[in-house]
Amino acid sequence: MKVAFAHDYLREYGGAERVLEALLEIFPDAPVYTAYVNLDSMGANGKRLKSWDIRASWFQKFPFANRLLSPFRIFGPMMFESFDLSEYDLVISSSSATHLAKSVITKPETLHISYIHTPPRFLYGYVTSFNYKKNWWTRIGGEIINHFMRIYDFEVSQRPDILVANSRNVQARIKKFYRRDSVVIYPPVDLSEFKIQSSKFKAKRDYFLVLSRLVRGKGVEVVVEACGKLGLSLKVAGAGPELDSLKFKVQSAKWKTIEFLGWISDEERVRLLQNAKALIVASEDEDFGITSIEAQAAGTPVIAPKSGGFLETVIDGQTGLLYGGPGMVTVESLVRLLREFREDQFSAEILRKNAERFSKERFKREILELIEKHLS
């Protein structure tokens, strides 16, 4: 059986790329077709990916391609339609930030499975890192372009034979926007990286943790202000365009308990998760939230909004605490919860057991079962 993958683009490493890596562990010889690749921008992760058979579209040779990738999303389907995939029996596409990869054209007898991390957030009113509505000219132009892109996104979403959603949350979005049923297969989490340290939560842990890209929509400013007002120790790991404004906010308020760590290594990420009192997140409509699973795998509870993917990954009162809800994730709601938080109410074993529902082994097994069911 000849297999190929189609992935939106490869220039940053996140949950979608973790899924692609797990898929390549199942089919290590399969080529990866993508709109654009820049492994150097992916740091240490990019070095690991250099052994892949990556085949970029014509856009790769376009002048200033790295800067133009976002505005050129309107031409994304053409990038993937240009690939000749006629020799393959199975094509697995992976679509997240854009609708690019699922627009590949396959021959009728080829099985096309599309793993949908979410319908494009910028097309359907979900918060994104880029605020195109901040200026009237970009708002008008953006709305016109997005209208036609939504039409095309719906059309190309009908091409795959099977749609796989990364959560029930995303499954509902697929049904709403694409009018199609889908299968839920949760993303893989490599549990082997994390070791729980004791049967009970260790009292020596003295900080809360944020582990996130510092971009609009992640709600990091809510966490920073809540911890700052309460005088709680908070480590913020991650970088992004919101970093400077967050630092300015902390300096202006003279909060001495907030520390910004910037980008961190995988090893440091594991250490921080294992030794934190809790991971705190404040993104209201998270598609799934792999970091919340990693925290639980390390025996660390999660404080998260009562919405989005966290409703599927965090058991309120057992593996973490849920607060607020859609439109109600505020500094005040988080402050109230943090005042009630007790470290000793969580069992590391229960946290780890919940995380095991999302293991990489389970992901591989369910993907193979899906393939065998439709190719047999």
HSE toward the beta carbon, residue 318, CA cutoff 13 A: 11
Q: How far apart are the first and last CA of the chain?
A: 12
Same domain, 53 and 100: yes
Indicate which CATH number applies to the domain containing 298.
Answer: 3.40.50.2000
**302, 364: one domain:** no
CB atoms within 10 A of CB 159: 16
* CATH code of the domain in which 171 resides: 3.40.50
**CA distances for 153 relative to 52, 100, 150, angstroms:** 28, 9, 5
Domain, as residue range, for 105: 3-188+359-375
What mean pLDDT value characterizes the chain?
88
Pair 343, 233 in one domain: yes
Q: Tell me the Ramachandran region of residue 325: left when phi exceeds 0, alpha when psi lies from -120 to 50, beta otherwise.
A: left
What are the tens digits of pLDDT across the range 202-254?
Answer: 545 789 999 988 888 889 999 999 999 999 999 999 988 899 999 999 999 99
Q: Please say if the pLDDT value at position 143 is more than 90.
A: no
List, for residues 90-142, the tens digit of each pLDDT value. 999 997 766 689 999 999 999 999 999 988 877 776 665 455 555 544 556 56
Same domain (yes/no): 349, 230: yes
- Overall pTM > 0.75: yes
d(C-alpha 101, C-alpha 156), whole Å: 9
277 and 235 in a single domain? The answer is yes
Taking residues 246-265, report their average pLDDT. 94
One domain, residues 138 and 220: no
Q: Do 84 and 173 sit in the same domain of this protein?
A: yes
Cα separation, 234 vs 246, in Å, equals 13
Claim to verify: residue 239 and residue 272 sit in the same structural domain = yes
Judge if 235 and 325 occupy the same domain: yes
Between strands 258-262 and 111-116, the pairing is unpaired
Average pLDDT over residues 44-63: 87
What's the pLDDT at 199? 47
- 292 and 198 in a single domain? The answer is yes
One domain, residues 198 and 208: yes
What is the predicted pLDDT for the residue at 197? 61
pLDDT of residue 11: 84
Residues 35 and 138 in one domain: yes
If you count them, how many residues does the chain have? 376
CA-to-CA distance for 305 and 143, rounded, in angstroms? 29
Please tell me the total count of domains within the chain: 2
